[in-house]
Amino acid sequence: MVKSAFKKIYTFLIFLFLYAPIIVLIIFSFNESKSRAHWTGFTFKWYIEMFRDRQIMSSLYYTITIALTASIIATVLGTIAALGIYYMKKTPRTIMINLTYLPVLNPDIVTGISLMLLFILMKFQRGFFSMLIAHITFNLPYVILSVMPKLKQLDNYLYDAALDLGATPTYAFRKVVLPQIAPGIFTGFLLAMTMSIDDFVISFFTTGPGVSNLAITIYSMARKGVSPKINAVLSIMFAGVILMLLIINNRMSRDNGRKENVV
Amino acid sequence: MKKHLMAYPYALWMLIFTIIPLALILVYSVITIDDAGIHFTLDHFRRVFEPIYLAVFWRSIKIATISTIICLILGYPMAMILASKNLSKKSILVVLFVIPMWMNFLARTYAWMTLLERNGLIATIIGYFGIQLPSLLYTENTVILGMVYNFLPFMVLPVYSVLVKIDKAVLEAAEDLGATPFIVFRRVIFPLSLPGVSSGIIMVFMPALTTFVISRLLGGAHFTLIGNLIEQQFLTTMDWGFGSALSVVLMLIIILSMGFAMRYEKENQGGGLW
Amino acid sequence: MHEEIIRLVNVSKSYDGQQVLQNINLGIGRNEFVTLLGPSGCGKTTTLRIIGGFEMADSGDVIFEGKKINNLPPYKRNLNTVFQKYALFTHMNVYENIAFGLRIKKMDKEEIDKKVKEVLNLVNLRGYEKREINSLSGGQQQRIAIARALVNEPQVLLLDEPLGALDLKLRKDMQLELKRIQQRLGITFIYVTHDQEEALTMSDTIVVMKDGKIQQIGTPQDIYNEPVNAFVADFIGESNIIDGVMVEDYYVEFAGRGFKCVDKGFLPNEEVDVVIRPEDIKLVPVEEGMLEGVVESVIFKGVHYEMIINGNGLRWMVHSTMMEPENTRVGMQITPHDIHIMKKVKTE
């Protein structure tokens, strides 16, 4: 009994530590005055101001455009790559998989500055496209690492069975293989979206003047001090991330359910 | 049919945008460029070992290590509680642990900024008791707090995912052989959880060592970690050579510490959580 | 007879309102090889886990050498378990696995060395001390699991379907080996299985369970020859189970005619199950048979033929070393003591 009470208190304290700052942040985004300590009344004015703020709106636009474009390109390229890697012989496959882990394990700051160096040396104008390329680069591994497990689960005989029943390889791929790995592709896409929206460090180094995403804008605002407007932006981002997670989680548990049914 | 050819565009992409850029850093760390052309030099690395920069490395490693240890001490019992809880409530608790991990770390850091600043909530509440605090922001401990807050889930989740996979029968076997609950923990649960602990350590230590945002926002403009130093070289002083040398050393430290932590990860059981 | 070492008194257990054990009463003797046998979900594993201390009974007592051990945790019980999938410690080598229990007892190093060596000899794995668990085959892991338990010299060894994961050939070998080990060490084995052949081969006593209740306790011969009800008869070996009417003592009617039998003590004209083993039906020329029928199918089973004979509207399974071709008319002869009469089990 004592043990279980201890467990409950410990769990409560840890969750308090994790969530209290976020909740306070959200609450004070609705605070009338600029104070971060005294509640002076409820208001939506920081949200309205946020929508009027040109810089915030432009970075919102870039965040979404880049996240969508980068994750679509990464999903297509990554899925094709995953298939290619899957059909490779053992040694090149191991090399490719390790290569795929490289950007995941490499510290963001190194990935960021290395890409920045490349763009500068290639005289590539830093801005929208350089940031897009950077995002595609760090998104690709997440797509591949989501699709690969699905390919491994794939029953090879299914494809053979389709051929046996008279399907052409393309038809068999479209009607048999693709539907089987589709959940992995979609998960990879959502993961890429989330990583892209979330990214600060790599974007920070690869962007150019006039183009910044939300994270960069928040960083430059936060460096100057705190403002309820930032609270408003972060609260909305938080809501967005939760929504995204719910979708991913829902999908994954459905996939798992399906797997269990098969077993 | 040559299906493996499908991997080639990706391989090309990775070559141009991952391998070549990393190679560039390596190259820049050992050259200088002047009017006469490009020369090989080890000056950049020599500079890295000047006391003032060594102090920055030392400080970064120290803070990252302290943060990692605190995360381990706080996180391991939490992972055990999560793994021991049963049924529906468990999955909710785990998801609640995942959510902050997916929240932008700027947001998480900024949240503490507003709490800790001079007119922030914590100072105000303590002020009611008549105690005037010196600034809570811009100290080393604030930076450590920010790191622990940001990275705690990265410790809990890998440990948790290893702990839940431990076969109940193995624990029963230990009990059956006479082990008290404490011995079961020390001789069976803990050794079996080491792969999770080592990935947890990597996942906390690495970002803690390389961050420049947490130190900048919670430690102030003059609080310098390796990350800040590298950022300055590329964005302010434009000393690419020195910046590259710093990056190379940083990568070496990471590879070494990963190798150290991975010793326990024989079967790569904890590797599933990135 | 065996002196008693363990007794379960009125043990009951339920999970989420589902009764898995109902008033189990069972005595187990010293040096006895007892098998708990039954289909999955019959409560045999739960019974074993209650003896091992991994589960607590909702009511009833577990008595070990005359003392109640209801609330004693597993690590304080003087018995050891061989788990279904072995539950070996993968982070330790063979030696460390086996030495685990001895180390806890703070035994000195030489003593441990000696015992580990002995027990490895016993399970025929001499020289395997340094091997990693994952480098062993299923059969070897099985032996290590047994060695790890036995090295503690328990008075009782619990085995939870220990051979379930092995292939047929290996299973047969291990059955003999387990029996040999048990006889040599002279300790009690409580063995859980759903494989009736395994139970018949190894046990001194078989406890047949179904739906959380004990159906029958007896020697393999008793259980095979004198099953108490149709469930036991059907579960232990194959049987022809026919509806019959016990007209009077020593006289039963089934398949449209009367038979002499050796059972008595039923109500006049009580409806009963009649059980006849396939090998107890003799095939004879039509005119000599008590019953007659047509051979419907013949399957060669290695030692004998299994024939299905359709007669009097019933299908009879007959085992015989002599084969009758399909579509032959045959007669069937059954002697009185091969006719087993059982009370009808009330179906829930």
Split at pLDDT 50, 70, 90, the class of B269 is very low
The answer to whether position C314 is within a domain reads yes
Cα→Cα distances B255→A233, B19, B71, B151, B258, Å: 37, 17, 21, 20, 5
Split at pLDDT 50, 70, 90, the class of A234 is confident
Q: How many CB atoms lie within 10 A of CB A170?
A: 8
Residue with tokens 């328990």: C154
Residues of A in contact with B204 (CB under 8 A): none
Domain match, C219 and C249 both: no
Residues of B in contact with C144 (CB under 8 A): none
Tell me the ipTM for this assembly: 0.85
Looking at chain B from residue 107 to 146, which residues have their Cβ under 8 Å from any Cβ of chain A?
A: 107-108, 110-115, 117, 119-121, 123-125
Find the closest chain B residue to A106 by CA distance: B251
Task: Please report, for the domain that includes residue C255, its CATH number.
Answer: 2.40.50.140
pLDDT at B211: 93
Residue with tokens 């003593």: C111
Q: Do chains C and A touch (3 or more CB pairs under 8 A)?
A: no
In whole angstroms, what is the distance from residue B226 CA to residue B48 CA? 11
Q: What is the pLDDT of residues C54-69, one digit of tens each?
A: 999 999 999 999 999 9
The answer to whether position A88 is within a domain reads yes
What's the CA angle centered on C59, arms C55 and C63, to 5 degrees? 75
Q: For chain C, give the percent of residues with pLDDT over 70.
A: 98
What is the average pLDDT across C233-261?
Answer: 89
CA atoms within 13 A of residue B229's CA, in its CB half-sphere: 25
The answer to whether position A240 is within a domain reads yes
For chain A, what is the mean pLDDT?
87
Domain match, C226 and C288 both: no
Nearest residue to C335 via CA among C286, C290, C305: C290
CA atoms within 13 A of residue B118's CA, in its CB half-sphere: 4
For chain B, what is the mean pLDDT?
87
Is the pLDDT reported for residue B270 higher than 70? no
Residues of C in contact with B187 (CB under 8 A): 100
What's the CA angle centered on A199, arms A194 and A201, to 5 degrees? 165
Compute the nearest-CA separation of B268 from chain C (Å): 13
Compute the nearest-CA separation of C120 from chain B (Å): 17
Flag if B14 and A121 touch (Cβ within 8 Å): no
Domain match, C146 and C277 both: no
Looking at chain B from residue 162 to 201, which residues have their Cβ under 8 Å from any Cβ of chain A?
A: none
Tell me the DSSP string of B220-263.
-TT---HHHHHHHHHHTS--HHHHHHHHHHHHHHHHHHHHHHHT
Split at pLDDT 50, 70, 90, the class of C169 is confident
The answer to whether position A20 is within a domain reads no
Find the closest chain C residue to B168 by CA distance: C87
What is the average pLDDT across C269-294?
Answer: 90
Residues of B in contact with A134 (CB under 8 A): 17
Select the residue from B1, B5, B12, B17 to test the A interface by mutation, using most A Cβ atoms within 10 A: B17
Tell me the DSSP string of B70-103.
HHHHHHHHHHHHHHHS-THHHHHHHHHHHHHHHS
Q: Is any Cβ of chain A less than 8 angstroms from the Cβ of B212?
A: yes
| Nearest CB to B169; choose among C80, C85, C152 | C85
Lowest mean pLDDT among A31-40, B239-248, B264-273, C43-52: B264-273
Split at pLDDT 50, 70, 90, the class of C346 is low
| Nearest CB to C87; choose among B170, B178, B183 | B170
What's the CA angle centered on A72, arms A97 and A174, to 5 degrees? 75
Q: Kindly list the partner chains of chain B, i.e. chains with 3 or more CB atom pairs below 8 Å.
A: A, C
Fold of B50-271: MetI-like fold (1.10.3720)
Residues of C in contact with B188 (CB under 8 A): 89, 91
Domain match, C154 and C295 both: no
Residues of B in contact with C152 (CB under 8 A): 177-178
Task: Please report, for the domain that includes residue A133, its CATH number.
Answer: 1.10.3720.10
Assess contact for C85 and B177: CB atoms under 8 A. no
Compute the nearest-CA separation of C293 from chain B (Å): 53
Residues of C in contact with B195 (CB under 8 A): none
* DSSP-assigned letter for residue C284: E
Domain match, C211 and C259 both: no
Assess contact for C297 and C318: CB atoms under 8 A. no
The answer to whether position C142 is within a domain reads yes
For chain C, what is the mean pLDDT?
90
Flag if B13 and A219 touch (Cβ within 8 Å): no
Assess contact for B72 and B178: CB atoms under 8 A. no
Which runs of consecutive H residues, i.e. helices, occur in A2-127? 2-28, 45-52, 54-86, 90-105, 108-121
The answer to whether position A10 is within a domain reads no
Flag if B120 and A36 touch (Cβ within 8 Å): yes
Compute the nearest-CA separation of B102 from chain A (Å): 7
Q: Is any Cβ of chain A less than 8 angstroms from the Cβ of B86?
A: no
Residue with tokens 């005055």: A33
Residue with tokens 């494809």: A159
Flag if A137 and B17 touch (Cβ within 8 Å): yes
A228 is in which domain, residue-wise?
Answer: 54-262
pLDDT at B256: 87
Task: Please report, for the domain that includes residue C225, its CATH number.
Answer: 3.40.50.300
Assess contact for C329 and C272: CB atoms under 8 A. no
Lowest mean pLDDT among A104-113, B144-153, B262-271, C188-197: B262-271
Domain match, C14 and C147 both: yes
Residues of B in contact with C54 (CB under 8 A): 172, 175-176
Select the residue from C48, C50, C86, C100 to test the B interface by mutation, using most B Cβ atoms within 10 A: C100
Question: Which one of C230, C262, C296 terminates a domain?
Answer: C230
Domain match, C214 and C259 both: no
Domain match, C48 and C125 both: yes
Copy the structure tokens of residue A249. 């989680």
Question: β-pairing, C291-300 with C282-284?
Answer: unpaired
Residues of C in contact with B179 (CB under 8 A): 75, 100, 104
Flag if A106 and B22 touch (Cβ within 8 Å): yes
pLDDT at C2: 66
The answer to whether position A29 is within a domain reads no
What's the total number of domains in chain C? Answer: 2
The answer to whether position A35 is within a domain reads no
Compute the nearest-CA separation of B254 from chain C (Å): 27
What's the total number of domains in chain A? Answer: 1
Question: Which one of C188, C203, C230 terminates a domain?
Answer: C230
Expressed in angstroms, the distance from the first to the final Cα of chain B is 34
C310 is in which domain, residue-wise?
Answer: 238-343
In whole angstroms, what is the distance from residue C68 CA to residue C51 CA? 11
Flag if B152 and A200 touch (Cβ within 8 Å): no
| Nearest CB to C74; choose among B167, B175, B187 | B175
Q: For chain A, give the percent of residues with pLDDT over 90.
A: 40
Cα→Cα distances C314→A204, C176, C257, C291, Å: 85, 39, 13, 11
Cα→Cα distances C320→B129, C204, C304, C312, Å: 97, 28, 5, 20
Residues of B in contact with A92 (CB under 8 A): 4
Assess contact for C104 and C89: CB atoms under 8 A. no
Provide the residue ranges of all domains of chain B, joining segments of one domain with +.
Answer: 1-41, 50-271
Domain match, C211 and C286 both: no
The answer to whether position C137 is within a domain reads yes
Domain match, C129 and C35 both: yes
The answer to whether position C348 is within a domain reads no
